């Protein structure tokens, strides 16, 4: 008779874990390689969660801005009429010119930056 081998006679999924474990492991390794390629070796993996949170925040802010920018003219035109579009654009520049110095003053006054971010984000 043929000699049985406990290691070779077991199915592959028992040797390497379940299919789900292999998929999760492959995704983790791929993500790690992508992270190293994008951020290099200078950014430690301990900062990965913080980096991903900040990157996703930037992604959603730009995505929201891009979406709202295309809707702005249509909404102003529907609510007030075409003649108010230039006024709304000038008013938005005026508001930014007023808000940025206030934000910078509050930032220099000692308020923690994350609290200031939440304050302006909730307005």
> How do the pLDDT tens digits run along the chain, 123 residues long?
567 776 676 666 666 677 787 788 888 888 888 888 888 878 777 788 888 889 899 999 999 999 988 888 888 889 998 899 899 889 999 999 999 999 899 989 988 988 988 888 888
Among 123, 71, 87, 76, CA closest to 102: 123
Residue 16 is predicted with a pLDDT of 67
Burial class from Cβ neighbours inside 10 Å (0-12, 13-18, 19+) for residue 103 reads middle
* Distance in angstroms (rounded) separating the CA atoms of residues 100 and 27: 42
pTM here is: 0.47
> How far is C-alpha 108 from the chain's CA centre?
26
Residue 102 is predicted with a pLDDT of 92
Orientation angle between helical segments 113-122 and 85-108, nearest 10 degrees: 150
């Amino acid at each position: 008779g043929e000699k049985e081998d406990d290691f070779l006679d077991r199915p592959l999924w028992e040797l390497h874990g379940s299919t789900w474990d292999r998929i999760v492991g492959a995704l983790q390794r791929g993500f790690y390689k992508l992270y190293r390629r994008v951020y290099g070796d200078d950014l430690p993996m301990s900062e990965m969660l913080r980096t991903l949170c900040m990157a996703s925040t930037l992604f959603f802010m730009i995505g929201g801005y891009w979406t709202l920018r295309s809707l702005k003219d249509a909404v102003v035109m529907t609510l007030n009429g075409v003649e108010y579009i230039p006024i709304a654009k000038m008013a938005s520049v005026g508001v930014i010119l007023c808000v940025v110095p206030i934000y910078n003053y509050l930032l220099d006054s000692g308020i923690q930056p994350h609290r200031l971010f939440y304050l302006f984000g909730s307005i």
